[in-house]
Amino acid sequence: MTPIVQGKRLVKRYGEVQALQGIHFSICSGECVGFLGPNGAGKTTLLHMMSGIVQKTSGDLTLLGLDISKQAREIKARIGVLPQENNLDPDFTVENNLRAYARYFGISGKLAQSRVEELLHFIQLYDKRKAKISELSGGMKRRLMLIRSLVNNPEFLILDEPTTGLDPQARHVIWQKLRSLKSSGKTMVLTTHYMEEAAQLCDRLYMIDRGKILAEGKPQELIHRYVGKEVLEIRLRKKEKDRLLERLEGLDFESEEIEDTLYLFPRDSEAVLRRLVEFDVQELQRRPSTLEDLFFKLTGRGLHE
């Protein structure tokens, strides 16, 4: 498939800091592609670059067949952006926020009213159309932000942390709506710190850290490639961990030791478990590998400051 968004050798510098270090990526029509990484990895810089807020230092970036450096105005008219922070106008009602935003795209009159009503029904906020922004819950504000990004019926949707700070119910409502948009053919890119969100929504992932792409692929393929099918979590004292690892010598596995927890990534879980019989393991969890394991495996478990 021909990419509708493509970055080649993209670099972004802020003084001495290189936020993006010559990355390559592509997004095809109808895909939802996620960029996962710790704080400071370069995710938001990349999304700001796609939305025309930040200019690249070097490299090539095209959206919808247009060069962002030369045709940013045309691109902005055809994309939708959901930023991290809610920036709704507190002086306007719910529907007037949408109507005012529509005017930025030359949409007014009956067409604007029809579009606003359609979107309010879509996100289940029609009953709140006359409410002030201060009267909305956090989940309602985020849902309103989402449909605001859809006012111009965009061909490409940029979602920066779409459900940050929401409770599970509100998060799932937004996931349902994003899946509905994807089913209708919308192309989307998102960043998120919720691994379940990426698993629910993304067709492909780019793992990014310190401005570099570490891995790319479908979620389950990446998990199996870098982590394996299962993880064993074991909590033991330091001396017991050392003895346990010695006892497991010769078996095919990888391990990580973080504080009081030993993480084992075995090729054959049964073989490892048979060796563990002689140890008085108080806490052992055997579970399928997840995107969170992949995230930690590629970017580390320590805090990035």
Q: What is the CATH number of the domain that holds 154?
A: 3.40.50.300
Query: What are the pLDDT digits (tens) for 41-72?
Result: 999 999 999 999 999 999 999 999 999 999 99
Judged by DSSP in three states, 156 sits in strand
Instruction: Name the domain boundary from 204, 223, 242.
Output: 223
Query: What are the pLDDT digits (tens) for 211-246?
Result: 999 999 999 999 999 999 999 998 877 777 888 888
Classify residue 109: in a domain, yes or no: yes
pTM to 2 decimal places: 0.91
* Pairwise CA distance, residues 304 & 32, whole Å: 27
Confidence of residue 4 (pLDDT cuts 50, 70, 90): very high
Expressed as residue numbers, the domain containing 61 is 3-223
Using the CB atoms, write b or e for 118-150: b if 16+ within 10 Å.
Answer: ebbebbebeebbeeebeebeebbbbbbbbbbbb
Query: What are the pLDDT digits (tens) for 103-124?
Result: 999 999 999 999 999 999 999 9
Whether residue 190 is found in the same domain as residue 275: no
Whether residue 136 is found in the same domain as residue 55: yes
**Residues, the chain, total?**
305
* Pairwise CA distance, residues 162 & 184, whole Å: 19
Query: What are the pLDDT digits (tens) for 250-290?
Result: 899 988 888 888 899 998 899 988 888 777 666 889 999 99
Query: What are the pLDDT digits (tens) for 82-95?
Result: 999 999 999 999 99
Q: What is the CATH number of the domain that holds 251?
A: 3.30.70.860
Query: What are the pLDDT digits (tens) for 6-17?
Result: 999 999 999 999
Classify residue 181: in a domain, yes or no: yes
